[in-house]
Amino acid sequence: MTDDRMEERLLGTEAKDMSSLAGKVWAESKKAWRVTFPAMLARVTNFGVFVVTQAFIGHISKTELAAYALIQIIGVRFANGILLGMSSATETLCGQAFGAKQYHMLGIYLQRSWIINLVTATVLVPVFVYTSSIFKLLGVEDEMAEAAGYIALWFIPIMYYFVFIFTIQMFLQSQLKNAIIGWLSAISFAIHVLLSWLFVYILDWGIPGAMSAMILSNWLTLIGEFVYIFGGWCGSTWKGFTWAAFADLWPVIKLSVSSGIMLCLELWYNAVLVLLAGYMTNATVAISAFSICLNISAWELMIFLGFLAGASVRVSNELGRGNVKAAVFAIKVILGTSISIGVVFWALCLVFGRQIAYIFTSEEDIAEEVSSLSVLLAFSILLNSVQPVLSGTQWLFHYRDTNGKIIYRSFLADPSVHALQEWR
């Protein structure tokens, strides 16, 4: 079979006429965006709270901007990596229970995750209490270390917010209740921008104002999700608090720890880069500029993590139906959409590389440093548009058997599933 004929088999009639192809692309796009948009909205607005706070703090002073960068990218990501990784066990367990129609177990798994994460967060509290001393031991300038230590204390309520928000969102996502997560996050983000403007610019509360706005807006999201769960909208999966949550904790702890180790190692490499920037000649400028670029890249990555969710769901749905052609087509449509958006952000970053910095600071030396990194930032953003989508798809490939017939295989992305599926 020639390559052209193989391509025709994969696309079926989609390649035969452009009007039919356009219709199929439109239909697939609508299916993908139903999953992608809520996931994207939640991720962009959740991370946007940290970026907006950085922007307001950056206009207070250069030292505070660098100090915030140190604690947010090093300290908070340290805690975030552990808690998010340990919470990922909830996603696996709740997904399996929902698929098996053991709906009452979702609430029990959620409560078990709260117990484990609350203990973990409490163990991590001393890291934030002694942040200043830790940074001084690592060689950070005294003035910056002291400022970071003060800001770190404000992040302790955020750490306990992580305890609940990650697990609740995974609990809701396993039931395909994505819309409520997205809209609550968007409302919280709008409130955060308003409160930050009021507390920092109007009332002139400085760092306490910026951090108070972050704490209030984040906990409003969490309260909204608590109301949604406890108010009866998850009646089949939430049966109230139960002592059963304290039973069989050890297997959940082992799964949580293994998940936590894998994910936190992935999140910590940026923290190492920022820490190394602190050893440069002008550490304040280097850390500020580098953190601005990292946070812009990470914020833009949240968009494409939405496409990851869409790709994962669409491909797994079609493979579950045994429709490999539709799965391949879904990958192409979602990847094409993601790359198109990535190209737009890539161009904007190249054109407005210097102007971006003024969102976060009024200091010319920091803006100049960000401008010098803008080309690297642009290509980092472009690569972000590809990698998450490919990660969200299953490892789908094909080969010919002895009779020349194509066999499709897919290794499932979920590590808890070890089966090899085949479609002929």
Is 325 a member of any domain? yes
Question: What residue spans of 61-103 are helical by DSSP H?
Answer: 62-70, 77-99
Task: Classify residue 358 by its DSSP letter.
Answer: G
Distant-in-sequence, close-in-space partners of 281: CB < 8 Å, separation ≥ 6: none
Distant-in-sequence, close-in-space partners of 13: CB < 8 Å, separation ≥ 6: 20
Are 99 and 71 part of one and the same domain?
yes
Is 106 a member of any domain? yes
Are 173 and 321 part of one and the same domain?
no
How far is residue 72's CA from residue 394's CA, in Å, rounded to a whole number?
A: 33
- Yes or no: say if 396 and 328 are a contact pair by the CB < 8 Å rule: yes
Residue 4: what pLDDT?
A: 46
Are 166 and 107 part of one and the same domain?
yes
Tens of pLDDT, residue by residue over 123-181, are 999 999 999 999 899 888 888 899 999 999 999 999 999 999 988 988 887 787 878 88
Give percent above pLDDT 90 in the chain. Answer: 26
Instruction: Name the pairing type of β-strands 406-411 and 395-400.
Output: antiparallel
Rounded to two decimals, the pTM is 0.78
Q: Which of 26-30, 99-103, 394-398 comes out lowest in average pLDDT?
A: 394-398
Counting the structural domains of the chain, the total is 2
Q: What is the token pair recorded at 15? A: 């390649």
How far is residue 293's CA from residue 241's CA, in Å, rounded to a whole number?
A: 43
Is 244 a member of any domain? yes
Rounded to an integer, the average pLDDT of 69-76 is 85
Sign of the C-alpha dihedral, residues 99, 100, 105, 111?
negative
Is 50 a member of any domain? no
Are 215 and 354 part of one and the same domain?
no
Predicted confidence band at 7 (pLDDT cuts at 50, 70, 90)?
very low
Domain end call among 257, 279, 301: 279
Is 48 a member of any domain? no
Domain end call among 254, 279, 304: 279
How far is residue 259's CA from residue 83's CA, in Å, rounded to a whole number?
A: 10
Predicted confidence band at 259 (pLDDT cuts at 50, 70, 90)?
low
Q: What is the token pair recorded at 375? A: 């080309």
Of 170, 161, 267, which Cα lies nearest the Cα of 214?
161
Domain end call among 223, 250, 279: 279
Are 79 and 180 part of one and the same domain?
yes
Q: What is the token pair recorded at 120? A: 């973990």
Q: Which helix (H) or strand (E) holds 398?
A: strand 395-400
Angle between helices 62-70 and 269-277 (to 10 degrees): 150
Domain residues for the domain of 147 are 59-279
Distant-in-sequence, close-in-space partners of 325: CB < 8 Å, separation ≥ 6: 9, 10, 11, 12
Is 323 a member of any domain? yes
> Which has more pLDDT, 304 or 53?
53
Residue 35: what pLDDT?
A: 76
Instruction: Report the DSSP beta bridge partners of residue 420.
Output: 411
Q: How large is the C-alpha radius of gyration of the chain?
A: 23
